[in-house]
Every structure is written in structure tokens, then in C-alpha cells.
Amino acid sequence: MIQNLPILIPISLILFAFLSAFLGVMRFRLSQSVALLGALISLVMAVFGLNHVLQEGAISYHLGGWPPPEGIEFVLDHLSAFMVLVITLVGFILLIFPTRPGFLMDEQRGVPLYAMVLMLIAGLCGVVLSGDLFNLYVFLEIASLSTYALVSLGSGRAAFSSFRYLIMATIGGSFYLLGVGFIYFSVGTLNMADILQHLPAVYDSPAVIGGAVLIVAGIALKMALFPLHTWLPDAHSYAPPIVAAFLAAVQIEVSAYVIIRFLLDVFTPELMTATVPLTTVIGWASAAGIIVASVIAIAQTDFKRMLAYSTVGQVAYIGLGIGLANPLGIVGALLHIMAHALMKSCLFLIAGGVYHKTGIKNINDYKGLGRRMPWTMAAFTVSALAMIGIPPTAGFFSKWYLLLGSFDQSNWVFVGVILGSSLLNAVYFFRLIEKVFAPSEDKVEKGADSRGELSWRMLLPIILFAAGILVVGALNVFIVDRFLMPIVAGF
């Protein structure tokens, strides 16, 4: 049973996706319950898998019994177990959020949505579990296809942004596939472990270098690495809240995972730092992205759009950690994946809940909400402080490791960027905190029905995320020592 976990996780999610759709057609309320059950099962498997990996090492599953390098391999090692845990945990908590505020449509029309979300989760799990380059591409496209559909369901110019995203992500995917082709021509295998063995002999071949560049460029496009981020703000701000949360929290980060995986286990750090300065490019592009995105975020008045730009900046932190290409940098990047997943999900759900309850989208209208929704706004404050990087939240500790990594490299510019961006984040989040807790002048005007706290079903996932931010902060050393250090042990 345990040995089959690498395949069971994505397969069961796909199974539940079908179940959710079929049962949903009969009784539409069932679709969410079934989806939630599926996500819970995958979460439980992820926890068992992680535990097993920590106790006894990686699990390799050979599809159809064909051993690699000929057969398809699924691998649950430290890195993929960590990522699967983040994906399924965030996915599960997000699915608790009710349909109407979460997808902006009623339960009846929402039936196919849950199937698509499960497909998205399955695709992402598949990406991180794949042991070969082509399979990774297949799962990446499964995830992307569900994303296009989900984004297009949003409000405003959602359909247009979805189409634009489709074009951009497809270009990214094609670059990746082309790069994989180059690698395959050079070494004649697609299995990651196998490539790692054979590739160093041909590092100076133009095909390998070209392949590496194409792969990183393609993934950077999907990761919205500055300046390839232009599709993201539209797609994420028009998408329904749950979708936006899932994209910002997990989907983008899985692209970052792909780069980390290539850096550590496919190419060796040598190829990506010494032979071709790919990590350096990623690092500096990210450093610029952090600053630019934060400045643009300050100028936004729509809350979700501000969050979308903030995502560009936050993902760039992960890119910066990759750019450092040292153990502390990667640890910081991975911890930031987890921290950012929690805080950004929390914030998008709050945006969705507040919009549902009061119709407020604009930052300026958040005035006085602290009094009306004390719990929601307490959670908001926690996530906002985490975004700024105030201890003891999770957001502080990921920055702390990135900072140590930058000092390790004596990269003073990165130090300045990490520190300076905290100030920029403080500007746009404290602006909101100030509004939220300032006394509101127009209590009467908004009408009686717009008052009061969110319903408990909306509140529950929000509070869970906020609590998670504090727990991850308090337990960061446990996570770093147990989960993350083994990943970078090879450095």
C-alpha cells in the first residue's frame, strides 16, 4: 500500500473528480462533499507518505511494473512529499469554503467546478511526483487546462484573461517540451535520475545548454517570473476567490518546484550556476520583480488586484532563493512556498468573503470593517503581518533564511531587496490595516444586512489558514530541520 502512494495520490484525486461530477449531477450538494472527501483522502495519504519518507527514505513506483529508465517512474522523496503536503493541505482547506462566495455562483451551477478543482490538484500532485520529464509535462498540462476553465468562470474580463493566460502558458509549455526534446536527444532518456547520471558527461554540448535554457524559460513563464508576469494580475484578479487563492498559493509555486527539482536532481547545481548562469538570471530577475511588483501593488485600489501583484512579488522571493543557489536560499524558497500558500489563500478567501457579504471590492471601502467582522479582520491582520514579515509569523522566517542565504553569498543587493521590500509590503498592507480598524463614518448607509461577521463556513478556512501562519512560524525549525534540510543535503 505505502509503496503505491506516489501513484495513488493523483489517481484517487482524478477518481474523486469524476465521482464529484457524477454524484453532483444527481444531488448538487454532494459535489462539494465528495470533493472535500477526495481532498481529505489525498491529504491523509500525503501525511502518511511524508512520514514514510522521513522514516525510511524515498518511495519509487514503477508504472505497469516496468522499471526505469524504460518505464514511467513516480517518486515520493523529501521534496515531492513536502510539496504534496502543501498542495493537498491548501486544497483541502480551500474546498471547505462555501460555493457561492467561493466560485461566485450557486451550488447548482457549481457542480463541474469541484471536479475541475480536483483535476487541478491531481495535476499539480502529478507534477511533483513525476520521475520523468515528459510525464511532468503531461501533468503540468492537466493542471493548466483545468486552470484555464476555472479562471474563465470569474467576473469581469475573466474570459479574456483566461485566454491570454492560455496563450502564454501554452508558449511556456511548448518551450519546456522543446527543451526536454533537446535533453532527450543528448542523453537518450527522460528519467530524471538517469539524466542526472548521464548528463554531466555532455554538459558542454550546445544541445544541453539550449535545452536547459528553454526549460527554464518555459517554466519561468508559467511561474510569472518578472518580467514574464504580465498575464498574472488579470488572471488572478478576475478568477473566482477559491480559484485565485489556489492559483496564487499553489499552482504558481509548483512551477517554482520544477525549477528547484531541475536544479537539484536533474541538472546538478553546477550546470545551472557555472556552465550557464541560469540561477543568476532567475535571482536578479526576481530581485527586480520583488521591487517592481510591490511598487505596482501599492498603486492598486482593487483588493484582489493588489493581492495579484503581491503574488508576483512573493513568487519572486522564491525565485530569489533559487537564484542564491545555496542551501539556505533553497530552504528559504521552500519555506516561503509553504508560508505564502497559507497567507495568500487566507487573503483571497477574505476578499471573497467580504465581497460576498458586503459587495466591497475596493480597498477604500474596507473602512471600519474591523468592527463589523472582528474575526475575519483579525485573520486578515495576521496574514498581512506575515506578508510584511513581522515575527513570529511564518512570513518572517522564510525571509530570515533568504536573508541568511544572501549574506552567505555576500550578495548585498539581494539583502537590500529583501529588507527594502518589507517596507514596501508594509506600505500597502498597513494602509489597509489602518482603514480596517479606523472608525467608520457611514455605518448607517451600508444597510443592516451588510453588517456582522461572515458565516462560520466561510470563517473556518480563513481561521485555519491564519492559525497555520502562526503554527508554521512557531514550528519553522522543525519543518526546516526535518523536511527541508534533507532536500538540500546534496549541495
Partner 1 sequence: MDSFFSIQPLMAVLVSLAAFGLIILFRNRPNLREAVTVIAAVSKLAVVLSMLPDVLGGRYPEITLVNLSPDIGLALRADEAGIIFAMLASMLWVVTSFYSFGYMRGLSAQRQTRFYASFALCLSATIGLAFSANLLTFFLFYEVLTVATYPLVAHKGNPEALAAGRKYLAYLITGGVVLLGAIAYTYQVAGTLDFNAGGFLPQDTAVSSLAILFALFLIGFGFKSAVMPLHSWLPSAMVAPTPVSALLHAVAVVKAGVFGLVRAVGFVLGPEQLHQAGALPFMLAAAAVTIVVASLLAMRQDNLKARLAYSTIGHLSYIVLGLALFDAMGWTGSMMHIVNHGAMKITMFFCAGAIYVRTHFANISQLDGIGHKMPWTMAAFTVAALGLAGVPPVSGFISKWFLVQGTLNLEEFALAGVFLVSGLLNAGYFFPIVYRAFFKKPGTKLVTGEAPLIMLLPIIITAGLSLFFGLFPDAVFGFYELAERVGQSVTGGGW
Q: Could you list the residues that contact partner 1 (CB under 8 A)?
A: 385, 388, 390-392, 396-397, 400-401, 403-404, 407-408, 415, 419-420, 422-423, 426, 430, 434, 437-439, 474-478, 480-481
Distance (Å, rounded) from C-alpha 399 to C-alpha 258?
21
Nearest residue to 95 (alpha-carbon basis) of 20, 151, 170, 147: 20
In the complex, minimum distance from the CB of residue 33 to partner 1, in angstroms, rounded to a whole number: 34
Rounded to a whole number of angstroms, the minimum distance from the CB of residue 423 to partner 1 is: 6
Q: Which is nearer to partner 1, 274 or 485 (CB)?
A: 485
Minimum distance between the CB of residue 146 and partner 1, rounded to whole angstroms?
38
- How far is it, in rounded angstroms, from Cα 325 to Cα 279? 7
Residue 376: CB minimum distance to partner 1, A: 15
User: If we measure between CA atoms, which residue out of 136, 475, 243 comes closest to residue 338?
Assistant: 475
Smaller CB distance to partner 1: residue 397 or 465? 397
Return phi, psi of residue 203, to 5°: -60, -35
Smallest gap from Cβ 384 to partner 1, in A, equals 10
Q: How far is the CB of 419 from partner 1 (least distance, A)?
A: 5
How is 419-468 classified by DSSP, letter by letter?
HHHHHHHHHHHHHHHHHHHSPPS-TTTT-GGG-SPPPHHHHHHHHHHHHH
Nearest to 152 by CA among 242, 251, 239: 239
Nearer to partner 1, 187 or 436 (CB): 436
Closest CB to partner 1 among residues 79, 335: 335
> Rounded to the nearest 10 degrees, how much is the dihedral formed by the CA atoms of 12, 14, 17, 22?
-90
CA 439 to chain centre: 35
Question: How is 360-393 classified by DSSP, letter by letter?
Answer: --BGGGGTTHHHH-HHHHHHHHHHHHHHHT-TTS
Q: Which is nearer to partner 1, 160 or 430 (CB)?
A: 430
CB–CB of 329/321 below 8 Å? yes
Choice between 159 and 474, CB closer to partner 1: 474
Q: Which is nearer to partner 1, 96 or 433 (CB)?
A: 433
Q: 188 vs 452, which CB is nearer to partner 1?
A: 452
C-beta closer to partner 1: residue 270 or 481: 481
Angle at 18 between CA 14 and CA 82, to 5 degrees: 25
- SS3 label, residue 417: helix
- Find the shortest distance in angstroms from Cβ 296 to partner 1: 20
As measured in angstroms, the least distance from the Cβ of 452 to partner 1 is 16
Nearest approach, Cβ of 358 to partner 1 (angstroms)?
A: 20
Nearer to partner 1, 39 or 385 (CB): 385
CB 351 within 8 A of CB 307: yes
CB of 132 to partner 1, least distance (A): 34
Q: Tell me how far apart the alpha carbons of residues 202 and 208 are, in angstroms, rounded to a whole number.
A: 7
CA distance 440 to 418: 35
Lookup: cell for 197 = 547520471
